[in-house]
Structure 1
Amino acid sequence: MKILSMERLRESTIGYDDYASIALSDHARYIYSAAFRRLQMKAQVFSLESNAAVRSRLTHSIEVAHIGDFLVQKFVEIIKDRKEKGLAISNEYLFFYENEISVRKVVQTACLIHDVGNPPFGHFGESAICAWFKDYLLAQDNHLGESCKRSFSLKDIDVNYNDFLYFDGNPQGLRIISKLQGNDGYGLNLSTSQIAACIKYIASNSQVGGDGIFKKMGYFSTEEGVVKAVHSDLGITDRHVLVYLMEAADDISYCISDIEDGLEKGVVSYSTFFKYVYKRINEVFSLFGEQFLPCKEKENIESCLNRINELFRDVDSDIDSEEYPDIFLKLKTNITNLSVKMVASEIHSRFDELILGKRDAIICEETPVYALQEVLKSFTRKYIFSSHEAENMELGGYAIIYGLLDKFKVLLDIPRQQFSDAINKQKNKGVSKVSCHLINLLPDKHRKAYLKAVSIDGVSDEKEFNLRCHLVVDYISGMTDSYAMEIYQLLNGIKVK
């Protein structure tokens, strides 16, 4: 089993022969991509936000990358400590120790990639895509063999359409980095270990719907070959060990940053937050006792809580004190640092399972860091995600994504030959001007990815239809929040300039 690899799915013209150069090249390939830049116009929680202090997907991903880097550093410190004490260390530990810089860069890049496949308006965008395809593919009044005049009918729909019925940003992200960026069908042509570090779930579209790491789809039918090639090179069948670090970094980051955004927007007050966490964090510390590492971060958190309690006694607890922003910053910093240290310790304790890819996550329910994070996540669910502002934007976003798919439905309805003529700019009287104009909206790289995939001999009508659905979804899911609204308004005649 390899932790890092120098192999790419297509041989690179640049012959790097060390892990550090490969990792740095992968990092550069991604951060200079258009897909990465578009994250600055996709929301983390609050879509179409004019306040630049509120996080976008881009700023969130940068923060996650910092925590991922910090996490590797702290884990390697544990290895160094064991080595200095003369304790036995495994070959895998030795690899982390000797290749710390490379591993940190791979984890950083995986963290930067982790949200790249999210559609506009986040999880509600995902839900809209799933719901639309459920209505389109499975509704009785849209029997594919009749209304679409295809050579196949409803009974022929197989698991390949789970690509859309269970659409998720994670497999879409894999599709972006391995297929859609670039013109040769290899995307960014990242190293196999970098790709593996981004595959959060391992279920194929025929396995989706299970528990744990099988609850969501890990890759679409179109990227099954990519995953097989990556697994073959690395000698793995399940999760790659570095995925766990990326996932933990994301969990540590968003559970506090989403709250900070809510405070910045005034969706919730500092006093409401402090009243909520004061008792609950103290209870977590009391419940887990010595399981929390003895460190200055825990002492600092307790000091913040004590000061909050003093302020509650001195002033009306419903009024925000001038000290609250500073206390929040100290609390955020120390909770983050404590979480990183404890997760690094969990990696050490459970490394034998993690290296085999057998665990669902590092941060599991029985751990004190899970309990600490759950205090923050429960607050976010109650006060941030359920706020009128967040919910109204989600409803609007859902309508926009569903409505865009309705408009592009015409491209899915026309027969294969007509669509082929239209996308290849060949005249066909059966193709409407609207269909031609919609095709012209599709980015060249997405059209080229479709044409390359259907150029393979023996592509059935069912497979072509699957690829055509991906073509439409690639375009819509790749939109920024504002561009999705703009195109929705254009296609509905609301705003044409």
Structure 2
Amino acid sequence: MSEIDFSLRFTLRRPYAYSETETQPNIGAVQRAYESDRGRIINSAAIRRLQQKTQVFALERNAAVRSRLTHSLEVQQTGRFIVQKIFERLGDRAADYQLAQFERAFESLVEMACLMHDVGNPPFGHFGEAAISDWFSQQLPLFANDFVNQNPKLYQDISHFEGNAQGIRLMYSLLNLNLTYSQIAGILKYTRAGDEPKPDASNNKSYLMKKVGYYASERAFVQQLWQQLKIPVGNRHPASYVMEAADDISYCLADIEDAVEKGIISLSALQQALMAEYAQQSQHFAQAHYRELMSQAIQYAADKSARIDINHTSQFFTFLRVKLIHPLVEHAANSFVDNIDAIFKGELNRALLEDNSHCHAITETLKQVARREVFCHREIEKLELQGYHIIGSLLQHYAPLLKLTSAEFMALVDGSSHKPLIATRLLHRLPQKHLATYKKAIKNDNDDVLPEFYHRCRLVQDYISGMTDQFAQDEYRMMQALD
């Protein structure tokens, strides 16, 4: 019998309602709790908004090109597939880890983590993240210098917007879905707080903490999560490793498929680029089969799709996925099982697929070709620049809310003042649920209470980052009329 007990990582406890003396619930109760989580997530506004958020192509009208929602659905399916393969590989050994009874529960956790993994992303993808970070980094010293000087760590937290951290904040603080600790832990991909420095490469958590995973505003919750799940501080939940692998497998092929659909690159040019890049990535493989894997997959997809007269390009990618995704899923599952002790502890300091294997070479090939042939295309760069400008301009328009003193702003919020006029009108445009989160935060009586201005910055970021691409563009056009 193994000393690893995965039952410790599965709980029905929720942040706002649980008993400190509650023992580990039975599997039926766990499954009912996760079904409840599933319903809360699927019916949330955060998931619905993904249908109008950028995957690669902003403001895309072609429904065949992926949005964040369609991408997340594909990640969800891949995550489910990986879990099934994990249990196939474990076989009877699943019982040794107290995991056999949790197969259905683990599959549900991973599926919903995959569906949620991008909910914190702002409009216009990574350029939206950069626009928010850059604006706060550059503008706060100009009108909030006292805050910056007195709170350098919180200034760092505010000026490093990260979609992963915003996802934790959205599901816990803003939407108040009260998901189980296990379910939220599935999207805690990185374990560094926004006000903590990035560790150097020699640190045993250098990968786990390479990006911001949560903000100072959610620190108490994340610490409680680690405590409730008996996960060492700074480590991951096992489900997050599977979610990450599913995302890596799904997006690296999807991005280049969308590029062909959009006419960014021709199918023949893509095939040549993939084979050339894989030849570079696989030079250190001695086995000829590994060195020829990409060309074999492309030839298989080309031959099979050539026999189908309808939608040749779409069929090509269907068969290419069969040849590439299946071995990637198998490899991710094998990597999970081979490192199950470190994964149970949450201390494996890398992604499941980043192991210098032939499967790692496949994902790197797909990513590098996408970076070189797709993301550097003039049309993509134009959309990114437009998105960056829209987000920066919106933040500039809402800056009057940040230039008020704490007393002035709180007077606007409680309705005891209606001046200045512009700030009043801007406040009225903010969603009530975001204002409710702000009010709750500033009334926090904990010893580690954060400054009011910090929560006000979060309030503005919550509003802007929660916009869809189309809403952000519409809001930008409306605000431009005020100039």
- TM-score clears 0.5: yes
Q: Is the aligned partner of 1:348 residue 2:337?
A: yes
Within-5 A mapping of 1:318-397: 323-359=312-348, 360-397=350-387
Task: Give the CA deviation at 1:306.
Answer: 6.1
- Tell me if structure 2 keeps the 8 A contact 1:285–1:292: no
**3-state DSSP class of the match of 1:18?**
helix
- Tell me if structure 2 keeps the 8 A contact 1:301–1:331: no
The 1-side partners of 2:338 and 2:129 are apart by 35
Shift in CA distance, 310/35, structure 1 to aligned 2, threshold 3 Å: closer
Task: Give the CA deviation at 1:258.
Answer: 0.5
Q: Which runs of 5+ in 1 are unaligned?
A: 146-152, 182-186, 313-320
**3-state DSSP class of the match of 2:319?**
helix
Out of 428, 434, 446, the position equivalent to 1:446 is 434
Shift in CA distance, 484/12, structure 1 to aligned 2, threshold 3 Å: farther
Structure 1 partner of 2:12: 6
Give 1:471's aligned amino acid. L
Give 1:6's aligned amino acid. L
- Tell me if structure 1 keeps the 8 A contact 2:9–2:230: no
Task: Give the CA deviation at 1:77.
Answer: 0.4
Structure 2 partner of 1:225: 220
The 1-side partners of 2:468 and 2:301 are apart by 42
The 2-side partners of 1:473 and 1:349 are apart by 41
Aligned length: 458
Structure 2 partner of 1:455: 443
The 1-side partners of 2:328 and 2:123 are apart by 30
Structure 2 partner of 1:160: 154
Structure 2 partner of 1:105: 108
Task: Give the CA deviation at 1:460.
Answer: 9.8
Structure 1 partner of 2:22: none
- Tell me if structure 2 keeps the 8 A contact 1:274–1:308: no
- Tell me if structure 2 keeps the 8 A contact 1:41–1:482: yes
- Tell me if structure 1 keeps the 8 A contact 2:274–2:366: yes
Shift in CA distance, 374/458, structure 1 to aligned 2, threshold 3 Å: closer
Q: Is the aligned partner of 1:255 residue 2:280?
A: no
The 2-side partners of 1:458 and 1:4 are apart by 29
Shift in CA distance, 333/77, structure 1 to aligned 2, threshold 3 Å: same
Give 1:251's aligned amino acid. D
Structure 2 partner of 1:408: 398
Task: Give the CA deviation at 1:467.
Answer: 0.3
Q: Is the aligned partner of 1:269 residue 2:266?
A: yes
Task: Give the CA deviation at 1:111.
Answer: 0.4
Give 1:259's aligned amino acid. I
The 2-side partners of 1:484 and 1:200 are apart by 27
Shift in CA distance, 35/323, structure 1 to aligned 2, threshold 3 Å: closer
Out of 206, 211, 219, the position equivalent to 1:216 is 211
Q: Which runs of 5+ in 2 are unaligned?
A: 20-24, 200-205
The 2-side partners of 1:372 and 1:478 are apart by 34
Q: Is the aligned partner of 1:125 residue 2:128?
A: yes
The sequence identity of aligned pairs, in percent, is: 35
Structure 1 partner of 2:193: 204
The 1-side partners of 2:297 and 2:191 are apart by 42
Give 1:159's aligned amino acid. K
The 2-side partners of 1:290 and 1:4 are apart by 41
TM-score by length of 2: 0.88
The 2-side partners of 1:374 and 1:441 are apart by 43
Out of 210, 222, 237, the position equivalent to 1:240 is 237
Give 1:383's aligned amino acid. E
Within-5 A mapping of 1:269-308: 269-281=266-278, 288=285, 302=296, 304-305=298-299
Task: Give the CA deviation at 1:225.
Answer: 0.8
Structure 1 partner of 2:481: 493
Shift in CA distance, 291/89, structure 1 to aligned 2, threshold 3 Å: farther
The 2-side partners of 1:247 and 1:196 are apart by 12
For residues 157-206 of structure 1, the C-alpha deviation after alignment (integer angstroms, 9 at most, x for no partner) is 2312222221100010000000101xxxxx11000111111100001123
- Tell me if structure 2 keeps the 8 A contact 1:44–1:122: yes
Task: Give the CA deviation at 1:489.
Answer: 1.0
Out of 37, 41, 45, the position equivalent to 1:30 is 41
Task: Give the CA deviation at 1:281.
Answer: 4.3
Shift in CA distance, 100/402, structure 1 to aligned 2, threshold 3 Å: same
The 2-side partners of 1:129 and 1:106 are apart by 31
Q: CA RMSD in A?
A: 2.9
**3-state DSSP class of the match of 2:122?**
coil
**3-state DSSP class of the match of 1:99?**
helix
Structure 1 partner of 2:145: 144
Shift in CA distance, 6/309, structure 1 to aligned 2, threshold 3 Å: closer
Task: Give the CA deviation at 1:365.
Answer: 4.0
Structure 2 partner of 1:318: none
The 2-side partners of 1:306 and 1:120 are apart by 38
Structure 2 partner of 1:69: 80
The 2-side partners of 1:341 and 1:301 are apart by 20
For residues 377-425 of structure 1, the C-alpha deviation after alignment (integer angstroms, 9 at most, x for no partner) is 1110011111111110100000111111111110011111111111122
- Larger mean Cα displacement after TM superposition, 225-234 or 486-495: 486-495
